[in-house]
Amino acid sequence: MRTYLIDDEGKELVIDLTKTKVHSFDNVEYNYSTIQDNQIVNEQVVHVRKLCGQYFVSTDKVAWKKIPRQDLPSRMINVDTVYNIFRGFKPSGLGGADEGELLTKMPGKVVKINVEIGSEVKKGETVLILEAMKMENEIKSGIDGIVKAIYVKVGDTLEENFLMMEVEAN
Amino acid sequence: MATDEVLEQKRALLIERRELADQGGGEGRIAKQHDQGKYTARERIERLIDPGTFIEFDKFVTHRCVNFGMEKNKFYGDGVVTGIAEINGQKVAVYSQDFTCWGGALGEAHAKKICKIMDFALDNRIPVIGIQDSGGARIQEGVDALGGYAEIFWRNVKASGVIPQISLIMGPSAGGAVYSPAVTDFIFMVDKTSYMFVTGPDVIKTVTHEEVTKEELGGAATHAEKSGVAQFKCRDEDDCFERVRELLAYIPASNFRKQEPRYTADPVYRDNSKLKTVIPGNPKKPYDMKEVILDVVDEGQFLEVHKDWARNIIVGFASIGGIKIGIVANQPEVLAGVLDIDSSCKAARFIRFCDAFDIPIVSLVDVPGFLPGTVQEYGGIIKHGSKLLYAYAEATVPLITLITRKSYGGAYDVMASKHIRADVNLAYPTGEIAVMGAEGAVNIVFRHELAGLTGEAFDKKKAELVANYENNFANPYVAAERGYLDAIILPEETRKRIYEYLRVLKDKQVERPERKHGNIQL
Amino acid sequence: MIRQLKNESRRIMIANRGEIASRVAKACRELGHTAIGLWTDNERNATHLQFCDEWVHLEGSSNAETYLNVEKIVAVAKKYNVDAIHPGYGFLSENAGFARALEAEGIIFIGPNVDAIQVMGDKATSKKLANEVGVPTVPGTDEAVPTVEGAIKVASEIGYPILLKAVAGGGGRGMRVCNNDDEVRANFDAVGRESKAAFNNGDLLVEKLIVNPRHIEVQILADKAGNIFHFFERECSVQRRHQKIIEEAPSPFIGEDEELRQNICNTAVKLAKAVSYDSAGTVEFIMGEDKSFYFLEMNTRIQVEHPITEEITGMDLIVCMIQSALGDNLGIPSQEFIKRTGHAIECRICAEDPITMLPAPGLVTGFETNFPQGTRFDHCLFKGLEVTPDFDPMVGKLVCKGIIRDVAVRKMRAALDGLFIEGLKTNMPLLKVILREQKFCEGVYTTNYIKEIAPQECVKTDFNHLRFYEVLAGVEARRMGI
């Protein structure tokens, strides 16, 4: 089971609980590893047991340290970085897909093209206007980049899922 | 002395049998399963639930079939792992079919195990999660296997609307087997490794002579985008487990108890100043309704259901001020946000799920009407559109409706209007509630005035009439004057106003006349 | 307070918030008075109200509308029949207008008399007064020196090294150090031109440069009967952007030099007598490497770091301050009665980034303490506290006392390790680095400590995997029900 740590800039660290072994009712072993950019960067085994109503941890079952009483915090600080903690799943709605390929979402007619091949575009900039269902749809670039290819011209009537333009990240 | 040895032997026997049961179909088949990018049944359960919380039932159940020499071929567990576990602290019943045992084929004992766990879940009011990975019925068991399926289907229906039922399709699910997931509330499919169809490509080829691959016919992409059978399409099995955990954070354990609010650090009274500029002044320009949703809900977290199907309507789960809600919203960016067959069905089912489980529904409306065309008419838009209307009218959960821009014609009535007993109806100042848009209306109402004119005079008169119409009718005030809207709010107040209404509506109690069940147009 | 003479219970309002309000409220209650606390619209969950008997709402959500609004506070005090107001530190504690307004209404201002506030509140008048009574101030000219020769003359009078400073300058700009006559000749015109360009005023002052300066301040306590005492000194040289981070009492620089100690403390008392001081206050000095000291300014209020003085003298300054304001005499027979023992260190725990030291508001999701003997923690923390940018980022003061300085340092290290705050970025990693840094541990540091040693660069920002594993494992264990 994974716990996602996402800092305020959107950078992500994943802590994976790879194995849980129950030795006895008050002594459990957890195998953790940290994954960053799809690479495992740290692995460790942590033992937890309860003593006098408090929880103690150890890495070698000999030296024990008390852990402060807290339920799963929603935020944890590592020196100067604040992480939002998500246990078990990364919530939807956080972070979007980067779109460099611009496909039509519905049939329509191209009425205006704002860029040329080689133009520099920013994420969210309107590159093309498509008229459909009596609405003017502004097609926006999903990423910062340079227009690599334009496959349509003004006046074209397009079907759904037609690849209109490609933007390459720079 | 002898008794100690006997005891030791008995202990050893149990441990040996446990290990044998854990093996499933054996090392070889497990390796094959892994090669295909799939986990084994037990691994799937381990990864889905909170670590260390699985309590297994019926580990040693075996079949009693004697046809075709089956008595020589038995597996402990009979190809399915069932039990009780916890997810995010919530108890759930889980069953996971084991593809390594006869391809996960279902037999009498296998079905009995699943039925037992479903009965347990129903009695204890906890959700059921079924992981499907099965080749179908066990031919050797004959009618017993078919009967087994039916027992499961009957229980699916018995529990429908009482406890949430979730199906994870992580392998083949074909023939009659698909009807169990079909009845359940949510279907998760894993891209590239799962299939659902009633008749497979081979049979199709012989009967209708169509050539189609398994993936094209019933893969995750097909069902998530074309048919709408699957609510969620997941990248891989781990992603699937995480999405299930996320879903369970938003839905209650059963219809028996209302949900507790979830913890959120997002202040309720923050301004939605972003929304001031999201809706363009020009009514011909579309905008992304998702931006509105993400700004209003807690921490921008929104679990979208049926993300890739009928994208002209958005449905999903979120929370506002910790109160968990379902959201239904038209998406002006796709097909201008019109209602059509698919979107009506999508929204109607979601609304009925929320109604069954006491989840308040917030509807964000920007709909110019129903999609015209023969495809829609021949397809029965009349029937399907009525489903949406029925679902809203039948719902007794709190309904809060916010009209952001257009709400024309029949679609105005359908989208949770005051008249079908929505609890709170709001609109932005950019709201336009009318029978139809200005252009169309002017053409009909002022036909005579425009009859004799042509060219520039025509354009000028029409523009004047259109402007006149827009001033008088394309605004929310006419409806507000009649009380069809409870309030007109500014976009930046959206979140706090909706939260206040949700708090008040928490204890809503409405009675409906007794009946066995209504006759929703199916 | 040594003896409590008057037994009437008074109604005392605390025109402040945070940890000082809690501190003052506790002192009021100890004396049997009614503590009245204020809360505003932007701080409904105010910690200090827990210790107050009555809670009064101050409408408004910005400091200008509330804690800095003289009319509002006076009106509220009248409405609730308040006998006295304690202003704490910051806000209106050194606002002569406020003190005057309270005087007009017959409400006791728990602080010095209005004249003292006014005279000491202005750098010019306080310096002038200091010179008049023979308290040394930073040697130099008060007016611009027009010529190079004039500058050299002044320099020879006050002694090198000197600072050529722009009259209109500030923030460390428009100044240059000169060690002898030649350097003055070389730099005079250049600094003049620089200042003219930067501040539109090319006039220069000449001031003595204090080498390796230390910030030493003396705690004064007086009553309305004219008794003025000093409570020894404090050293607050670890500072950044003029914000103190760590303070200690007594000063490690003065060390065992009792003569110097007596000298500086008596000088402070002399200055306090000159304004007929009658409450708690602090006289700040700057001391050079050669042990010469010069008056900087006087803070006519109780200060953040008063606890370390309380620790080494065993006196409760807030209680004394309240009693003296209410008309009791302190009952301290003589200056010799006040003795000091041991050494105390205070670390300010602030909600800020440990490296950039910029404020970092947040929500406290966990708070636990596990301190060694001899630790005192004055704070406003609780699980669920929201630290907002509206107020000062300081959330607590950690004070450790030891019989000698080394012991105090050791206890402070243990205390920092035993203080657990989650959900908030704090300067604790920085404090931990400083408490282990060699120069600090030797007690040899100046006001340039942060700049020269730059401890913030030694703060390790590596991701502490084990700590996260431990917390997550603890959560799992709790959920599994072990």
C-alpha distances out from residue C433 to C245, C424, C453, C468, Å: 13, 19, 11, 21
Q: Is residue B263 part of a domain?
A: no
When pLDDT is cut at 50, 70 and 90, the band that residue B285 belongs to is confident
β pairing state of B303-305 and B232-234: unpaired
Contacts of B164 (CB under 8 A, 6+ apart): B127, B128, B185, B186, B248, B251, B252, B253, B254, B357
- Please list every residue in chain C whose beta carbon sits closer than 8 Å to the beta carbon of residue B52: 476, 480
Subunits close to C (at least 3 CB pairs below 8 A)? A, B
**Residue C205: what pLDDT?**
77
- For domain A101-169, give the fold: OB fold (Dihydrolipoamide Acetyltransferase, E2P) (2.40.50)
Q: Which of B109, B224, B411, B434 is catalytic?
A: B411
B66 and B131 belong to one structural domain: yes
**Residue C327: what pLDDT?**
83
Q: Is residue B519 part of a domain?
A: no
Q: Please check the confidence at residue A101 and state whether its pLDDT lies above 70.
A: no
C54 and C154 belong to one structural domain: no
Percent of chain A with pLDDT over 90: 9
Q: Is residue C320 part of a domain?
A: yes
Subunits close to A (at least 3 CB pairs below 8 A)? B, C
**Residue C76: what pLDDT?**
94
**Residue B116: what pLDDT?**
96
B393 and B404 belong to one structural domain: yes
Annotated domain spans of chain A: 2-87, 101-169
B368 and B465 belong to one structural domain: no
When pLDDT is cut at 50, 70 and 90, the band that residue A96 belongs to is very low
B114 and B236 belong to one structural domain: yes
Residue B329's Cβ-side half-sphere holds a number of Cα atoms within 13 Å equal to: 29
Please tell me which residue of chain A has the smallest CA distance to B47. A1
Q: Cβ separation of B301 and A94 shorter than 8 Å?
A: yes
Strongest mean pLDDT among A114-118, B342-346, B453-457: B342-346
Contacts of A61 (CB under 8 A, 6+ apart): A47
Helix (H, G, I), strand (E, B) or coil at C172: coil
Distance CA B9, CA B18 (A): 14
- B410 is an active site residue: yes
Helix (H, G, I), strand (E, B) or coil at A103: strand
B286 and B213 belong to one structural domain: no
* pLDDT digit string, tens, across residues B208-217: 998 999 899 9
**Residue C125: what pLDDT?**
85
Distance CA B483, CA B425 (A): 9
What CATH number is attached to the domain comprising C105?
Answer: 3.40.50.20
When pLDDT is cut at 50, 70 and 90, the band that residue A170 belongs to is low
Residue A29, amino acid: E
Q: Is residue B78 part of a domain?
A: yes
Handedness of CA A31, A35, A40, A44 (dihedral sign): negative
> Among A20, C432, C200, which residue's Cα sits nearest to residue B50?
A20
Q: Please check the confidence at residue A97 and state whether its pLDDT lies above 50.
A: no
B303-329 core/surface letters (b: 16 or more CB in 10 A; e: else): bbbbbebbbbbbbbbbbbbbbbbbbbb
Q: Please check the confidence at residue B430 and state whether its pLDDT lies above 70.
A: yes
Q: Is residue C139 part of a domain?
A: no
C-alpha distances out from residue B283 to A137, B279, B404, B430, B522, Å: 11, 9, 11, 9, 35
**Residue C81: what pLDDT?**
92
When pLDDT is cut at 50, 70 and 90, the band that residue B458 belongs to is confident
Q: Is residue B253 part of a domain?
A: no
Query: Rounded to the nearest 5°, which phi and psi values hold at C189?
Result: -65, -40
Residue C411, amino acid: K
* pLDDT digit string, tens, across residues B471-501: 888 889 989 999 999 999 999 999 999 999 9
Spans of chain C, pLDDT less than 70: 1-7, 168-174
β pairing state of A108-113 and A120-121: unpaired
The whole-chain average pLDDT of chain B stands at: 91
β pairing state of B128-132 and B90-97: parallel
B238 and B373 belong to one structural domain: no
Q: Is residue C176 part of a domain?
A: yes
Q: Is residue C276 part of a domain?
A: yes
Helix axes C96-105, C114-121, angle to 10 degrees: 170
What residues make up the domain containing B455? 438-473
B493 and B447 belong to one structural domain: no
Q: Is residue B264 part of a domain?
A: no
When pLDDT is cut at 50, 70 and 90, the band that residue A94 belongs to is low
Split into its structural domains, chain C has a count of 3
Q: Cβ separation of C473 and A30 shorter than 8 Å?
A: yes
> Among B284, B297, B200, B226, which residue's Cα sits nearest to residue B498?
B297
DSSP structure class, residue C316? -
Range name among B159-163, B293-297, C147-151, C257-261 with the lowest pLDDT average? C147-151
C192 and C300 belong to one structural domain: no
Residue C398, amino acid: L
C84 and C163 belong to one structural domain: no
Contacts of B48 (CB under 8 A, 6+ apart): B85, B87, B94, B129, B131, B241, B244, B245
Q: Which of C17, C23, C234, C301 is catalytic?
A: C301
C167 and C255 belong to one structural domain: no
B210 and B336 belong to one structural domain: no
> Among A3, A34, A33, A5, which residue's Cα sits nearest to residue A18?
A33
B221 and B328 belong to one structural domain: no
B402 and B344 belong to one structural domain: yes
C204 and C219 belong to one structural domain: no
* pLDDT digit string, tens, across residues A61-77: 889 988 877 677 788 88
Please tell me which residue of chain A has the smallest CA distance to C357. A80
Q: Please check the confidence at residue A157 and state whether its pLDDT lies above 90.
A: no
Interface of C with B in 353-412 (CB under 8 A): 363
- B391 is an active site residue: no
When pLDDT is cut at 50, 70 and 90, the band that residue A123 belongs to is confident
* pLDDT digit string, tens, across residues B164-200: 999 999 999 988 889 999 999 999 999 999 999 998 8
Q: Chain B interface, mutation test: which of C386, C479, C482, most B Cβ atoms within 10 Å?
A: C479
Residue C471's Cβ-side half-sphere holds a number of Cα atoms within 13 Å equal to: 22
> Among C230, C232, C231, C272, which residue's Cα sits nearest to residue C113?
C272
**Residue A105: what pLDDT?**
65
Distance CA C280, CA C289 (A): 29
Q: How far is B53 from chain C (nearest CA, A)?
A: 7
Give me C430's structure tokens: 């920085």
User: Which residues of A have a CB under 8 Å from any CB of B?
Assistant: 1-2, 17, 20, 22, 28, 30, 74-75, 87-94, 105-106, 132-138
**Residue B466: what pLDDT?**
86
Residue A20, amino acid: T
C-alpha distances out from residue B90 to B253, B395, C147, C239, C247, Å: 7, 26, 84, 51, 51
Q: Please check the confidence at residue A98 and state whether its pLDDT lies above 60.
A: no
Range name among A27-36, A147-156, B24-33, B53-62 with the lowest pLDDT average? A147-156
Give me C409's structure tokens: 């340092």
C-alpha distances out from residue C135 to C121, C281, C285, Å: 17, 17, 10
C476 touches chain B (CB under 8 A): yes
Percent of chain B with pLDDT over 90: 68
* Residue pairs between chains A and B whose CB atoms are closer than 8 Å: 72
Give me B104's structure tokens: 């996960």
B285 and B191 belong to one structural domain: no
* pLDDT digit string, tens, across residues B98-127: 999 988 899 999 999 999 999 999 999 999
Bond before C250 cis per omega within 30 degrees:
yes
Distance CA A121, CA A138 (A): 14
Q: Is residue B396 part of a domain?
A: yes
What is chain B's Cα-based Rg?
27
* pLDDT digit string, tens, across residues B379-393: 999 999 999 999 999
ipTM for the assembly: 0.73
Q: Cβ separation of C365 and A74 shorter than 8 Å?
A: yes
**Residue C70: what pLDDT?**
92
What residues make up the domain containing C196? 148-208
Helix (H) or strand (E) holding C240: strand C228-240
Q: Is residue C138 part of a domain?
A: no
Split into its structural domains, chain B has a count of 3
